[in-house]
Amino acid sequence: GQTVTNVNISESDDAPIISRHIYGHFAEHLGRCIYEGFYVGENSTIPNSAGVRLDIIEALKELQIPNLRWPGGCFADTYHWMDGIGDLEKRPTIVNTWWGGVTEDNSFGTHNFLNLCEELGAEPYLSGNVGSGGVQELADWVQYTNFKGKSPMSDLRRENGRDEPWTVKYWGIGNEAWGCGGNMRPEYYADIYKKYVTFMSDADIEGGLYKIASGASNDDYNWTEVLMKNIPKNMLEGVALHHYSVIDWDAKGPDVDFDEQTYFNTMKESWLMEELIVKHTAIMDKYDEKKEVDLIVDEWGGWYEVAEGTNPGFLYQQNTMRDAMIAGMNLNIFNNHADRVKMANLAQTVNVLQAVILTEEEKMILTPTYHVMNMYKVHQDATLIPLSFDSPKYTLKEESLPALTISASKDEGEKTHISFTNIDANKAHTVSLDLNSLNIKNISGTVLSSDSLQDHNTFENPDKIAPKDFKDFKFKKGKLEVNIPPFSVIVLEGYK
Q: List residues binding ligand AHR (CB under 6 A).
A: 28, 72-74, 175-176, 299, 347-348, 353
Question: Minimum distance from CB of 275 to ligand AHR (Å)?
Answer: 20
* The 3-state secondary structure of the chain, one letter per residue: CCCEEEEEECCCCCCCECCHHHHEEECCCCCCCCECCCECCCCCCCCEECCEEHHHHHHHHHHCCCEEEECCCHHHHHCCHHHHCCCHHHCCCEECCCCCCCEECCCCCHHHHHHHHHHHCCEEEEEECCCCCCHHHHHHHHHHHHCCCCCHHHHHHHHCCCCCCCCCCEEEECCCCCCCCCCCCHHHHHHHHHHHHHCCCCCCCCCCCEEEEEEEECCCHHHHHHHHHHCCHHHCCEEEEEEEECCCCCCCCCCCCCCHHHHHHHHHHHHHHHHHHHHHHHHHHHHCCCCCCEEEEEEEEECCCCCCCCCCCCCCCCCEHHHHHHHHHHHHHHHHCCCCEEEEEEECCECCCCCCEEEECCEEEECHHHHHHHHHHHHCCCEEECEECCCCEEEECCEEEECEEEEEEECCCCCEEEEEEECCCCCCEEEEEECHHHCCCEEEEEEECCCCCCCECCCCCCCCCCCEECCCEEEECCEEEEEECCCEEEEEEEEC
The residue annotated as part of the active site, out of 28, 176, 269, 274, is 176
Question: Minimum distance from CB of 218 to ligand AHR (Å)?
Answer: 11
Question: Minimum distance from CB of 180 to ligand AHR (Å)?
Answer: 6
Q: Please say which residue, 317 or 416, places its beta carbon nearer to ligand AHR.
A: 317
Active-site residue 299, yes or no?
A: yes
Active-site residue 123, yes or no?
A: no
Question: Minimum distance from CB of 217 to ligand AHR (Å)?
Answer: 8
Q: Please say which residue, 99 or 264, places its beta carbon nearer to ligand AHR.
A: 99
Question: Minimum distance from CB of 57 to ligand AHR (Å)?
Answer: 22
Q: Please say which residue, 227 or 353, places its beta carbon nearer to ligand AHR.
A: 353
Q: Please say which residue, 273 or 490, places its beta carbon nearer to ligand AHR.
A: 273
Question: Minimum distance from CB of 3 to ligand AHR (Å)?
Answer: 40
Q: Please say which residue, 9 or 273, places its beta carbon nearer to ligand AHR.
A: 273
Q: Please say which residue, 70 or 144, places its beta carbon nearer to ligand AHR.
A: 70
Active site residues: 176, 299
